[in-house]
């Protein structure tokens, strides 16, 4: 098969499972690092004509990451487009099997079984009330019904905006600071929060700087995500005032 992926996490999932299957990927597809495929633009602005010139048997996309007009243009030109929808971890596992087994005609990979086993063995940390910004200028946070929110919830994070009417609400910084959070969780994507860019906005709150690939990607990184994210969250939890006393 000839496959074009418009989603970085699906790119990694396909490339790890069947090297050489991908003929086109986005500019944001960074894993595996040695990926050899034609770059066809961004997730939000793919070069539709370039995709079609690659004569794909299948284009894989995501309803949140990719724009409906681009997917419609590909379908109108005769391309087969498989669109995933991922709002929680269980759905991510189902969609990965649909892409790899049904869409790409591959055997179910061992890494997918291992990832499910890793998450089935997770024991949540003590509850940690947190806000989870995903952008600044303006400040935006995880709200309701998000994959990343479900991942964090399984690790013991109580997202203070999980009940918000919007999935990625814009919240004024003063409100974020005054919301009663015990910590702030700062991923390095889509906004690249770092030790020098993000924690200073939340004085007095422990900051968990987390790998965005392990938090927001659904693919082979899911196997390591519980350990990687769990370590960052444990460190933040221990920095909450009084945490050590409660642990005793």
Structural contact between residues 236 and 26, judged by C-beta atoms closer than 8 angstroms:
no
Structural contact between residues 3 and 104, judged by C-beta atoms closer than 8 angstroms:
yes
Quick: pLDDT tens for 167-177.
999 999 999 99
Q: Which residue has the higher pLDDT, 17 or 126?
A: 17
Pairwise CA distance, residues 50 & 31, whole Å: 21
What is this structure's pTM?
0.92
Residue position matching structure tokens 């990927």: 25
Quick: pLDDT tens for 183-221.
999 999 999 999 999 999 999 999 999 999 999 999 999
> Does the structure show a pLDDT above 80 at 247?
no
Residue 139, classed as helix, strand or coil, is coil
**What's the token pair of residue 207?**
């900051």
Pairwise CA distance, residues 27 & 236, whole Å: 33
Give the list of residues 6+ apart from residue 12 with CB closer than 8 angstroms, or none: 29, 31, 32, 217, 219, 220, 221
**What's the token pair of residue 96?**
């990965």
**pLDDT bucket at 125, cuts 50 / 70 / 90:** confident
pLDDT at residue number 248: 37
CATH topology of domain 124-247: Rossmann fold (3.40.50)
Residue 230, classed as helix, strand or coil, is helix
CATH topology of domain 3-108: Rossmann fold (3.40.50)
pLDDT at residue number 243: 61
pLDDT at residue number 135: 97
> Does the structure show a pLDDT above 50 at 246?
no
Domain ranges of the chain: 3-108, 124-247
**What's the token pair of residue 212?**
């965005």
Over residues 209-238, mean pLDDT: 95
Over residues 46-61, mean pLDDT: 97
Q: Which residue has the higher pLDDT, 246 or 40?
A: 40
Question: Does 124-247 match 3-108 at the fold level?
Answer: yes
> Does the structure show a pLDDT above 50 at 245?
no
């Amino acid at each position: 098969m000839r496959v074009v992926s418009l989603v970085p996490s699906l790119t990694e999932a396909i490339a790890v499972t069947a090297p050489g299957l991908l003929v086109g990927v986005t500019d944001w597809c960074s894993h595996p690092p040695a990926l050899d495929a034609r770059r066809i633009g961004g997730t939000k602005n793919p070069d539709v004509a370039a995709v079609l010139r690659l004569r794909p048997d299948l284009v894989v996309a995501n309803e949140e990451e990719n724009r409906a007009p681009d997917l419609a243009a590909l379908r109108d030109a005769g391309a087969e487009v498989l669109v995933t929808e991922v709002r929680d971890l269980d759905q991510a596992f189902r969609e990965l099997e649909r892409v790899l087994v049904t869409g790409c005609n591959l055997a179910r990979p061992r890494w997918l079984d291992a990832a499910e086993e890793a998450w089935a063995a997770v024991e949540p940390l003590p509850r940690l009330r947190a806000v989870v910004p995903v952008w600044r200028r303006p400040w935006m946070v995880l709200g309701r019904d998000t994959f990343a929110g479900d991942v964090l919830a399984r690790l013991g994070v109580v997202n203070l905006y999980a009940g918000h009417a919007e999935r990625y609400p814009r919240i004024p910084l003063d409100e974020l600071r005054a919301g009663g959070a015990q910590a702030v969780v700062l991923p390095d994507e889509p906004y690249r929060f770092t030790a020098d860019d993000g924690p200073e906005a939340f004085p007095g709150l422990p900051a968990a700087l987390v790998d965005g690939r392990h938090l927001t990607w659904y693919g082979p990184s899911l196997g390591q995500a519980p350990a990687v994210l769990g370590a960052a969250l444990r460190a933040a939890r221990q920095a909450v005032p009084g945490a050590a006393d409660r642990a005793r």
